């Protein structure tokens, strides 16, 4: 609700509680909208959001904030994930596209980072793309690529298809590279995701590929979700952003995994 000029300004804590109540009600808040509705500068709103994030009460995104994550079982929608670390995902996607050669077969799992990779492949002419993501297949349908969409049951949260049908299709495939966007990466555990069926499909993608590349922004490291995809030893390469600490980069390389930091 937009506040009128006749209403007294909120106290700082009152304002922050108001922001949290809006996130709970609408699932997100935007800096521009809060600035207009509360008649405050964007700088002030950003400071409020930064403070609330420091207390683990929300998650900052590009242009706003989302509810705080709920641990290993958290499974946000692809629309929610799109707002998170967008600039980093674009840089990661461009680095991933630079690893691809004309004529190769590429597997893209579902997710916002792999969606950016699909967009970054637009300069190629002859590729075969295998994916279980409906949105990626739709985006690439305008290209000249050969698109193979696995069958399966639809997960509306991720716009992906999963289950035995998807796994059976992947058993018959052979790809040059698989790009996996994951929810958690721990060098001691490996790659993880909140959904068991998604993990099984991802594991089948790894088995079908010559090279396994994890594409994940720095927020995904030292996190563990419910379902294991593969251990660290199955990963050939990691592409991540420059916010990852030198210590974590060293730990990945010590695990025998090549790292590209963008």
Model confidence pLDDT, tens digit, residues 144-167: 999 999 999 999 878 999 999 999
pLDDT of residue 175: 98
pLDDT in tens, 52-109: 888 778 888 778 888 775 444 455 556 556 656 789 999 999 999 999 999 999 999 9
Token output for 221 = 């490291």
pLDDT of residue 14: 85
Residue with tokens 């799992």: 109
Query: With the C-alpha atoms ordered 84, 186, 77, 34, is the resulting torsion angle positive or negative?
Result: negative
Residue 75 lies in a domain: no
Task: State the Cα torsion 228-229-231-233 to the nearest 10°.
Answer: -170
d(CA 48, CA 61): 13
pTM: 0.71
pLDDT of residue 73: 45
pLDDT in tens, 169-225: 999 999 999 999 988 898 988 999 888 899 999 999 999 999 999 999 998 898 887
Q: Judge if 92 and 180 occupy the same domain.
A: yes
Domain extent for 109? 86-261
CATH code of the domain containing 50: 1.10.10.10
pLDDT of residue 72: 45
d(CA 206, CA 130): 12
Q: Judge if 99 and 199 occupy the same domain.
A: yes
d(CA 76, CA 102): 34
Q: Judge if 148 and 249 occupy the same domain.
A: yes
Residue 76 lies in a domain: no
Q: Judge if 46 and 169 occupy the same domain.
A: no
Q: Judge if 119 and 186 occupy the same domain.
A: yes
Residue 41 has pLDDT above 90, yes or no: yes
Residue 81 lies in a domain: no
Q: Judge if 253 and 225 occupy the same domain.
A: yes
pLDDT of residue 168: 97
Give the pLDDT band of residue 248 (cuts 50, 70, 90): very high
pLDDT of residue 77: 56
Residue 1 lies in a domain: no
pLDDT of residue 83: 58
Do the Cβ atoms of 39 and 49 come closer than 8 Å?
Answer: no
Do the Cβ atoms of 162 and 132 come closer than 8 Å?
Answer: yes
Three-state SS at 186: strand
Q: Judge if 55 and 142 occupy the same domain.
A: no
Most confident segment among 14-23, 167-176, 221-230? 167-176
Total structural domains within the chain: 2
159: region left, alpha or beta (phi > 0 left; psi from -120 to 50 alpha): left
């Amino acid at each position: 609700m937009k506040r009128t000029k006749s209403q007294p300004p909120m106290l700082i804590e009152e304002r922050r509680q108001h922001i949290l109540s809006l996130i709970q009600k609408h699932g997100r808040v935007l800096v521009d909208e809060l600035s207009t509705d509360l008649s405050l500068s964007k700088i002030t709103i950003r400071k409020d959001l930064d403070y609330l994030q420091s207390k683990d009460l929300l998650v900052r995104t590009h242009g706003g904030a989302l509810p705080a994550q709920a641990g290993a079982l958290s499974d946000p929608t692809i629309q929610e994930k799109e707002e998170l670390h967008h600039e980093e995902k674009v840089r990661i996607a461009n680095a991933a596209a630079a690893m691809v050669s004309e004529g190769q077969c590429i597997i893209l799992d579902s997710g916002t980072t792999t969606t950016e990779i699909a967009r970054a492949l637009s300069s190629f002419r002859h590729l075969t793309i295998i994916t279980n993501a409906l949105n990626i297949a739709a985006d690439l349908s305008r290209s000249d690529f050969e698109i193979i969409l696995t069958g399966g049951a639809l997960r509306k949260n991720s716009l992906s298809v999963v289950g035995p049908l998807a796994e059976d299709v992947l058993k018959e495939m052979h790809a040059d590279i698989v790009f996996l966007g994951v929810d958690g990466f721990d060098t001691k555990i490996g790659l993880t995701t909140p959904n068991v069926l998604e993990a099984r499909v991802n594991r089948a993608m790894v088995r079908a590929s010559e090279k396994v590349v994890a594409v994940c922004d720095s927020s995904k490291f030292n996190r563990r979700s419910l379902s294991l995809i593969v251990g660290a030893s199955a990963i050939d390469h990691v592409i991540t952003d420059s916010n990852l600490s030198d210590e974590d980069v060293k730990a990945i390389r010590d695990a025998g995994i090549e790292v590209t930091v963008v």
